[in-house]
Amino acid sequence: MSRSLLALTLLLVLALNGHAQKVKYKDLIELLNARNYEVAEPFLKRYLKENSDNISAYLYMGIVYQDKAQRNDILKQPEALLNNIDSAIFFLEKVAPLITEKELKRNDQNYQMYLRRDVRTAEFAIKLSDVTLDIETRVKNMRERKEKVKNLNNFFRAAERQYQATQHAFVALQNQYSTEKEFCLRLNESVTAELNRIKLTFDSSQLSFRNYRSVLESMGKVPYNQNVTLTEIADFKRDGNTEFDFFKGDLRLWDYARWSKNALDLYATEITPLRDHLVTYDIELNRLSQKLKQDSVSVKDELTKLLDRSSIIQLAKYDADPLPIGVFNMKMAELEYHSEKISNKAGRDTVGLVTRLQQLKKETRAVKKLDSLSARLLTRNFDKDAKDYTHFITKAYGTDAVLKNYIRSTHEFALRELAAHQAQTKLTEKAVRWLVHGNDSIPVVTDEPRSQYKPLVIVADRFTMGLKYVDSLATGYLFDITPIHKPKVAVSFPVEALPFKKRFLPVIKGMGVHPLSDLFIALVYSESSDKNGFPATLIKVDKTKGLVWSNNYRLPFTPSELLFSSDTGEIMIKLPTPTGEQKLFVVDKNGKKIQ
């Protein structure tokens, strides 16, 4: 500002503050002609309050308001901007019809801003047409600017509001679920409707912003040039909730439309088919259960064919321990248990004790598995499961209460069956240790010290041989071991009294062979020798005839092996010597010693 204008401004300030009588227009016009509208405004307003007959003052008041509107921020001060435009138009339209040739000639010093050289006369002059055109142009431009500012702000506010609504909706979903996996599991029609709303609102926000940019670019030089960069929501729980500022030039926004579309696609292409598959799988298991009950047949083979790991793999992406898989495992365990029982039932009355014990153990393992799986299901958080697997529970069981009752009843059944099997297994394990012959029980194990029967040879599923003691005197015995542990071959034979007394049991040994289906050969001997050698009793038993013969011998050495020749019927006892040689003690088929 020049010194003269500065001095003039100080003078006007004094006048404005009451230090002078009134504002002089000739001083004010200098500021206005210098386009110092911001400085001149308060003086011009003061002047117009005191002077209502100065036409040029109204013109300049319109121009001052136009200048103010130009200086208003188009986004942060839209109301003030529009008010200033309205005020400018008001003053300009008010003064337009009042400016005449007469006014211009009479007060030409007030319209110096319109002084132009006439192209025809080459003289400087102020033309009414120039003034009128300027006013019309100003009004037209301001009306256009007013409309653009309105549209600009409408689109800008809409984009901002719609984006904020999108973010609020997203954050509401974000806060509703503890993890992204939980969100995926609980996707339903209500949530997908919200996803569609989020997508539409976000798309509307982007459309509003594009419209805003279109208006902005038509406004010429403005202080705004926002460019949007969309960022993918990669982490459902961490992304998408940061603050935003639409006034920033580098406007980074979350791409809610892409996220919503991905979630909707996931729901349509993976979640919904998976849910339907789980219900179908449950129905198939129910069908097998019905078949097992109606036809009393094992369904093990069909279970193997039905087993589908794809649903487990898919669910594992969202839940490490999914309820439906737990239910399926329990159902399959029950089917396996019933199938095992049905398979064993056919020959249950004819199979041997050992086989029956094996069957019982297999059935027990199956029912233990059922017990474990059903017990584990009962410890689940069913409130959470009811939310995660609403579709499965509703379609397959109706309510979570029905499912819980089903699991509980299955567990109670498993407990009853397990207790019964454990008791039956205990009895069978006890029975397997004995042969029953008449009123006698003969052990086929060596850890029954209270029994009169002391087994020396036990050949599994073949025969047992030993000594029976009444008081301290021994009698030999041999029983065949049948599947039902009721022997068909029951033989007793004499042994020497003294060498085989009960007190000598620690040194009394036996060995036996069953070389032919109808032949048993057994040897009882003492590891303690007398002057004649080691006492021994050799027996030959026929399955149909019983005891064929029983002979006592003195062996020069303790035996190591019992052999039989099917060609000659000879029996050979291997006798290792202290020097490492092998000698044979041989008897013929009638028990007569050969060598």
What single letter denotes the amino acid at residue 541? V
* Cα dist from 220 to 213, 228, 436, whole Å: 12, 20, 113
* pLDDT band (50, 70, 90) for residue 262: very high
Q: How many CA atoms lie within 13 A of 234 on its CB side?
A: 3
Indicate whether 490 and 401 sit together in one domain.
no
Indicate whether 449 and 388 sit together in one domain.
no
> Is 441 strand, coil or helix?
strand
CB proximity list for 51: less than 8 A, separation 6 or greater: 25, 57
Indicate whether 304 and 284 sit together in one domain.
yes
Indicate whether 167 and 98 sit together in one domain.
yes
The confidence score (pLDDT) of residue 471 equals 87
Q: What is the mean pLDDT of residues 277-281?
A: 93
Question: What would the two tokens of residue 206 be?
Answer: 């982007």
* pLDDT band (50, 70, 90) for residue 347: low
Cα 34 from Cα 113, distance rounded (Å): 9
The answer to whether residue 497 scores a pLDDT higher than 70 is yes
> Is 165 strand, coil or helix?
helix
35 in a structural domain: no
Indicate whether 279 and 422 sit together in one domain.
yes
Q: Is 77 exposed, middle or buried (CB count within 10 Å of its CB: 0-12, 13-18, 19+)?
A: middle
CB proximity list for 179: less than 8 A, separation 6 or greater: 236, 237
* pLDDT band (50, 70, 90) for residue 7: very low
Cα 479 from Cα 477, distance rounded (Å): 7
Q: Residue 206 CA to chain centroid, in angstroms?
A: 34
271 in a structural domain: yes
* pLDDT band (50, 70, 90) for residue 25: very high
Q: Are 152 and 214 contacting, i.e. CB atoms less than 8 angstroms apart?
A: no
74 in a structural domain: yes
The confidence score (pLDDT) of residue 136 equals 97
Structure confidence by residue, pLDDT tens digits, 153-167: 999 999 999 999 999
Indicate whether 460 and 550 sit together in one domain.
yes
Indicate whether 133 and 61 sit together in one domain.
yes
* pLDDT band (50, 70, 90) for residue 2: low
The number of domains in the chain is 3
The confidence score (pLDDT) of residue 59 equals 96
Q: Are 557 and 583 contacting, i.e. CB atoms less than 8 angstroms apart?
A: yes
> Is 535 strand, coil or helix?
strand
> Is 440 strand, coil or helix?
strand
Q: Strand 227-231 and strand 250-254: pairing?
A: parallel
> Is 427 strand, coil or helix?
helix
Q: What is the mean pLDDT of residues 25-51?
A: 92
Structure confidence by residue, pLDDT tens digits, 302-346: 888 876 677 778 888 899 999 999 999 999 999 999 999 998 887
Residue numbers of the domain that contains 175: 53-227
217 in a structural domain: yes
Indicate whether 360 and 467 sit together in one domain.
no
- The mean-pLDDT minimum among 113-122, 505-514, 518-527, 574-583 falls in 113-122
Residue 406: Cβ within 10 Å count: 16
Helix residue ranges per DSSP H, 186-223: 189-217
CA angle in degrees (0–180, nearest 5) for 264-265-269: 125
492 in a structural domain: yes
Q: What is the mean pLDDT of residues 535-551?
A: 96
The answer to whether residue 8 scores a pLDDT higher than 50 is no
Q: Residue 356 CA to chain centroid, in angstroms?
A: 43
The confidence score (pLDDT) of residue 44 equals 95
Look at residues 177, 212, 227 and tell me which one is the last residue of a structural domain: 227
Look at residues 378, 406, 431 and tell me which one is the last residue of a structural domain: 431
Smallest Cα–Cα separation from 323: which of 311, 306, 307?
311
Question: What would the two tokens of residue 36 be?
Answer: 């110092």
The confidence score (pLDDT) of residue 118 equals 80
Residue 315's H or E segment, with its range, is helix 310-316
Residue 412: Cβ within 10 Å count: 12
43 in a structural domain: no
Tokens 């009042």 -> residue: 98
349 in a structural domain: yes
Q: What is the mean pLDDT of the chain?
A: 92
What single letter denotes the amino acid at residue 300? K
Give percent helix, percent strand, percent coil of the chain, each to the nearest 5. Answer: 55, 20, 25
Question: What would the two tokens of residue 529 be?
Answer: 């020798």
* pLDDT band (50, 70, 90) for residue 295: confident
- The mean-pLDDT minimum among 101-115, 302-316, 353-367 falls in 302-316
* Cα dist from 321 to 179, 325, 387, whole Å: 15, 8, 15
Cα 583 from Cα 595, distance rounded (Å): 10
The answer to whether residue 3 scores a pLDDT higher than 50 is no
235 in a structural domain: no
Tokens 């729980």 -> residue: 237
Indicate whether 361 and 471 sit together in one domain.
no
Question: What would the two tokens of residue 1 be?
Answer: 């500002």
Q: State the pTM of this model.
A: 0.77
CA angle in degrees (0–180, nearest 5) for 417-423-424: 85
The confidence score (pLDDT) of residue 12 equals 47
Smallest Cα–Cα separation from 511: which of 458, 589, 471, 555?
458
Look at residues 169, 201, 227 and tell me which one is the last residue of a structural domain: 227
The answer to whether residue 352 scores a pLDDT higher than 50 is yes
Indicate whether 190 and 71 sit together in one domain.
yes
Helix and strand numbers, DSSP H then E, in the chain: 18, 17
Cα 366 from Cα 356, distance rounded (Å): 15
The 8-class DSSP code of residue 317 comes to T
Indicate whether 486 and 342 sit together in one domain.
no
Indicate whether 183 and 283 sit together in one domain.
no
Cα 135 from Cα 55, distance rounded (Å): 13
The confidence score (pLDDT) of residue 301 equals 87
Cα 330 from Cα 377, distance rounded (Å): 9
